[in-house]
Amino acid sequence: MLRLRNEFSFLILALAYLGAATVLQGQTNNEAPDFKEVYDLIASHLSGVSPSELNRAAVDGLVKELSPRVSLVTNGGLPRTGASLVSQTNLFEGQIAYLRIGRVDEGLAPALREACQSLGPADKLKGAVLDLRFTDGQDYAAAADTADLFVKKEQPLLNWGKGVVQSKEKNAALASPIAVLVNRQTSEAAEALAAVLRETGVGLLLGSTTAGQALVGQEFPLSSGARLRIATDPVQLGDGTALPGTGLKPDIAVEVSARDEQAYYGNAFRQLTNSQAAGYAALTPTNRGAATNRPTRRTVFNEAELVRERRESLSPFETAVPEKREAEPEKPMIHDPAVARALDLLKGLAIVHQSHS
């Protein structure tokens, strides 16, 4: 039994290698072996493996190595994640809304509008944190509709092979500015939503590089009842810029390990005793010259500039030593580095906006 298990594991690795070699063919001088030749040899000489097991290993290996450009879509009609459209909301100090998106799917735009309105009037909010970490979805129409909530003017938003979709001009949009949280598990339509919010100038991206899976795909029916989804083109922003296969780089990088990030995502107030990430992560502007990471139309301030702007706007009376106040009850501290950094940024921008108004 152990020998059979080892042989079967070797088979899977061998077929996975063939898939990788196929991807690399034409890019290197190493020509990949013929797949059918290797498949027939394994089928003829590897003992203890049924034709169905061999077929499954071959399919799994190919799909895995060519993912995300190739994927199997099984029947059932359920989204990949069981999360709600808007899975969590909160109102943080300074009238800043926190909105966590579970998945980008049909109905997200009205659900997000309702969630935001439940936190207070839009004109009273000083900004919003839109959390797209660990978020996926293949409904690009929902991504465009959701982005439209935050854009006042009519302008091109997104093109996923059905023509460019534009925002609608409106008197009032949802809370602005926006800090959009992304990570390595932000994929597909969630990536497109993040990219549009940055491109339209209403939001900045904080976190880590996204998955790079915003792709237009075509589905082909299989005899098994499943469907094979093959990517044909990348999704494009309104100006025709393709979303990169390497993922979106954040405007502000927040470095935290995958394990710690998962823990913080479960509870932003949790303090990890074995992690240096318990404190705030450093602000790191990144990739300002890349095609899909162009400077947004909104003026961006770093922490030093925010402090300087605040000091210069104070009157002599405001710089005086403040009067003693009664001690206020200590509020719980947010230890999630991404959320904490986003709140600091939005509160700083609110101070600058107030000082200039």
Which of 120-124, 204-208, 232-236, 351-355 tops mean pLDDT?
A: 204-208
pLDDT exceeds 80 at position 211: yes
Q: How far is CA 173 from the centre of its chain?
A: 22
Distance CA 295, CA 323 (A): 42
The answer to whether the peptide bond before residue 33 is cis (omega within 30 degrees of 0) is no
pTM of the complete model: 0.71
pLDDT exceeds 50 at position 204: yes
Banded model confidence at residue 353, pLDDT cuts 50, 70, 90? confident
Largest CA distance in the chain: 89
Condensed to tens digits (0 to 9), the pLDDT of residues 218-263 reads 889 998 888 898 888 889 999 999 999 899 999 999 999 999 999 9
Condensed to tens digits (0 to 9), the pLDDT of residues 65-112 reads 887 788 887 654 434 445 689 999 999 876 899 999 999 999 999 999
- The pLDDT, as a whole number, for residue 332 is 72
- The pLDDT, as a whole number, for residue 173 is 84
- The pLDDT, as a whole number, for residue 331 is 67
Instruction: State percent of the chain over pLDDT 70.
Output: 71
The structure tokens listed for 153 are 């003017």
